[in-house]
Amino acid sequence: MKRVFTLLLLLSAAVVSYGQATNRAAAFAGTATSTASFGNVQELNGVSQFTFEAWVYIDQWNENSYVFSKIGSTTNRIDLQLGTAANKRLYFHVANNANMYAAADNSPITVGKWHHIAMAYDGSQSAYNKIQVFLDGAPLKLWYSGGNGMLPATTPTTTTAPFELGKNFAGKIDEVRLWNFKLNAADLELRNTLNPQHALFPNLIAYWKLDQAARLVDEKATYPGVLNSATLVTVLDNPVFKYRLVSSYIRSNFYETGRIGEAAVLNNNDIIYLAANVYANGDLFFEYPENHGVLQNASHLSSFSGRNGVLDFVGGGASMNTGKDLLNKANGGVSTFTFATWVYVDQWVPGSYLFRKQESALKTIDLQLGEASTSTLVLHLANGADNYVSVPSSGLAPGQWHHVAVTYNGNGAAFQQVKVYVNGVSKALTFKNADGLLPRTGPFIRSDFELGVNFDGKLDETSLNLLSLSANEVVNLKNNPLVVNSWNMSKTNAYWKYDEATQPGKDSRTWVEVLDKLKTTFQDKTGATLRLGVTGGDWRIFMKTDAARRNFASKVNAVLQAKGLDGIDFDFEWAETTQEWADYSATMLAMNDVLPAASMFTVSLHPVYYKISAAAIAAADYISIQSYGPRPNRFPYDQFVADINSMVAYGYPRHKLVMGLPFYGASIDNTLNTAAYFDFVKAVPTLNPASDTITVTLGGTTRTYAYNGQNTIIKKAQHVRTQDLAGLMYWDLATDVEYGNQLSLLRALNTVVNANVATKADQLQSPQAPMVSAQTIEFAPLPEKQLDDPGFEAGATASSGLPVTYTSSNPEVASILEGKIQVIGPGTTVITALQEGNLFYSAAEPVTQTLVVVPDTTPPTAPTNLSATATDFTAALIWSPSTDRMGVIGYQVFQGERLLELVQETGFVVTDLQAAQKYRFTVIAIDKAGNASLPATLEVTTPDTQAPTAPAALTGVRTTKHRINLTWQPASDNVAVLGYQVYLNNVMLNVNLIAQTSYETERPIGNDIYEFVVKAVDAAQNLSAPSNSYREMNGNREETPATISASLLSVASDEKAVRVAPNPASGHTRVTVTCKDEGALSIVLLNSTRTVIKSIKSYKKGTFEKDLSLEGLPAGMYYVRATVGTFSQTVKLYIQ
């Protein structure tokens, strides 16, 4: 996903389709002239069976409009017509010399929703069975015009009436199929398109997908159509019928050996050519690089001594440089290779080379001419230490053609790693080292591979192969030009024929050769992407540094642009650590930074290895998940479902998720042995499509493999469709059987998700060349427009009735959007009316008119209904929107004369206000031209809802007899405290608020207890919480400090038996015992650990009271226990 698209995809679920086919539908305007016409479909004339089916979307129910029609007269017609809207009546006419039809009332078809409808007719059937109509796959209940269930035995024989779609119909029609027989419910395919391999495809009369904007293509190439005052529109809102990705990989070797047929390729809409690896610095490595030679002191000869097309080297300074990517891999040297060539020595130059790849004498692979007298050849293969073999008496004589070949297998035994052939005969070798061993691999060097360095002679038919070929294969290279007809020959990664005089150093075995063949396959097709796949190499290393990542991204993009590829796929297996996933994600972002918008970017991950970042997910267009292997436990359907759920839970969007299918099997013994589905079918040609395991002998070994048969492939594809995922990928094209084989897995997949690759419209030939007529355009002068005027119809018409399009010479003044002229800015522009013609009309002569646009000076309307909801410190303003022809861009909000904000919404919250204050607010609308509306003004007074703080330190002082003076600390308030209220035993004493912080009142008489509290009141009549309570008795008083919690004042359950007051106390307290028991009395004071601090012994008769000194005791919780007779009770005492 290129950066330009990232924000769009975050805001919308719409998916960029790139080269894949876009599902389109024909959109009709609801007029008699808005139609799609296909001429006279003769297979509908005078026949006893046919079926019409299509997807239909009704924008507006136009009574007596037609989904399709072929009408000669009222009594000779076939059509599907919308009837009365009130009861959703549908008519299905089959009239042959009498107006006869079936109809359905109260059909479950809905305006504003896609529905699939099929009208299936068989005139040979009995009454009530001649026609069936299916809506979304379910049959409709029909009634008949004659009341007897009858329709004609055949359609009318009218031969002139055209077949049309959409007459008077307001809506869209998609995926139209005409069949030559009556379909039943089981035949209906609602969710997928059809390809030519579909079992019923031969029964189609015509098939219009309506996807190609150029023309209405009939997939049967019989009845192309033309749109009249209608358009083709993209369909994104049909939840049932969707196009999805069908993606697979191609490897050069399999493609070239014939394992991949064209039919298979064309039934994918995304082909990934897995051709590149990556070096540690981010450079790309191709196993089949472009090794076109650059000549120095060498030239092409059209023929020489019996051979045609040879390269002539002239000795000193001669060479052909073929680049740096031969005889190494992306992350190391090669362990096998074969070099072969025809050689003609003009003059033996000791020290010259037939080929050389050399960094130094200690890191080199080369074949060098040694002593002339013995015609010695020397093969250096040094990987850190000098090492070589020599061929004394090679028999390579000047003045003759000889075939020379070298094979190398680093894993071979001593004296067996290298063979040198001259004229197909293996020559005796002399090894530098007595142990007869060469390095296990060649050096990993990125030096140039050169041919004919300082060589004086000719070369012909030179090749380099990645394998160590057999003696027979070497002889075959000697006797025949190279033919890629086997796996071993497909590993030839360079081949210079020297046949082309203009490019004698051309390499005929590059990855681009395969790419060009694939391009040829798709050259007349539409609806597919062809992309580069990058895998392996030193990917973990290059991903670690930003410089290598950006180098890699730059090199990839350069290849895509140079070779005309549609995008890139990463297949790096696998990142494991958190850091590796961070590096992988950073690489994706670097790739995203440089890819153009048209390039498609995917990565291939695994259900176990998938933890790229959210930013990386956003950067990719699709993420494919290899929901298979390497072990067999990943193959079952249930695991596939679980993998999807896991990926969605991780955060992969469904519209980006492409699930992988295995077209191969893994041995159930978990030894990681795999085999292609191709091999299973080859061994068992009658393989059961329902089977998912097979025991088979391959390569002499019998194993049982887990795989996916056709039924499981179909089931998985159906689940992808049900889950509304982006599509499917599989590994790979070469492991399936031929597409024509009934057991093909791709063929099974396509029955659920078709690729929709189609022949380009301009490549299809109409069976009948239509008559082409001339047409003209009428275009009246355009009135002057104001800058804020809305888009308008230009009003041009074509004499053909075809729609007219427009262009504007100055897009800064006006542009064209959906056929309307949109005013952009002041000035002058020329509007040109065009009609490009179709199959039946030639292009019209363009007509122009001048459009003048003047500035906008009209202000918006004033905002209305301005109101506010206020709190102590805020005011939430809301208002009804203003209107303006050009559009309101926002509203200025003022507090007094101060501008607070320009907002786009019709509301604003003003903050930092003060309670109980009056404010004036003003709102003014502003349009795109800067015009300001009249103001809307509102005065707002903020409330005061914050209560004062509670008065503190309430206490009392006795004054005169039975009087007490209460005093307290003042309360505070966010505005102001207005006064105080004094409460006695919860009854307010004062009538008027008390302004001061004192109040005199009576004190209790006898045994009465008075409890006083004070509350503060502010100007808004908010009442504070009560102060601490002050208790007064006759001769006693209690104060309960506000700092002491209520839980600390709890006493024993019988409160009247033992009391201590004051409590909490400081210095002393008084103990009162009022129980009924009398006699010897013990009062004990204990600390929190129940240790006795002091005790009092006395005698109780009646109520007992005694002062208890607390002097010298630390603050804390204590216990007072009184015991008399059988009575004993303990209360808590708190010392301050």
3-state secondary structure 845-888: CCEEEEEEEECCCCCCCCCEEEEEEECCCCEEEEEECCCCCCCE
CA 595/CA 552 separation, integer angstroms: 12
| CA proximity to 492, closest of 256, 765, 829 | 256
3-class SS of residue 295? strand
End-to-end CA distance of the chain: 74
* CATH number for the domain whose boundaries are 779-854: 2.60.40.10
Domain extents in the chain: 24-234, 246-281+523-758, 289-509, 779-854, 864-941, 952-1039, 1046-1135
Q: Do the Cβ atoms of 231 and 644 come closer than 8 Å? A: no
Q: How far apart are CA 403 and CA 659, in angstroms?
A: 51
CA 728 to each of CA 265, 604, 716, 955, 1038: distance values in angstroms, whole numbers, following the listed order: 15, 12, 9, 85, 85
Common-topology check for domains 289-509 and 952-1039: no
- CATH, range 1046-1135: 2.60.40.2550
For residues 688 and 962, give the distance between their C-alpha atoms in angstroms, rounded to a whole number: 111
CA distance 453 to 357: 11
**Which residues of the chain, if any, have pLDDT below 50?**
3-17, 765-771, 1035-1055
pLDDT in tens, 951-1005: 998 998 888 777 889 999 999 998 899 999 999 888 888 888 999 999 988 776 6
Chain-centroid distance, C-alpha 872 = 48
The CA distance from 1063 to 128, in Å, is: 101
Question: Is the omega angle on the peptide bond into residue 392 within 30 degrees of 0, that is, cis?
Answer: no
**Is domain 246-281+523-758 in CATH 3.20.20.70, yes or no?**
no
Model confidence, pTM: 0.67
CATH number of 864-941: 2.60.40.10
CA distance 193 to 219: 11
Closest CA to 189 of 718, 708, 644: 718
Task: Provide the pLDDT for residue 1125.
Answer: 83
Under DSSP, the state recorded for 1049 is G
Top CATH class, 289-509: mainly beta
- Do 1128 and 1082 meet the contact criterion of CB atoms below 8 Å apart? no
How many C-beta atoms surround the C-beta of residue 607 within 10 A?
20
Q: How far, in Å, CA of 1037 to CA of 956, rounded? A: 9
Largest CA distance in the chain: 150
CATH, domain range 24-234: 2.60.120.200
Q: Indicate the CATH number for domain 952-1039.
A: 2.60.40.10
Which DSSP letter does residue 21 get?
A: P
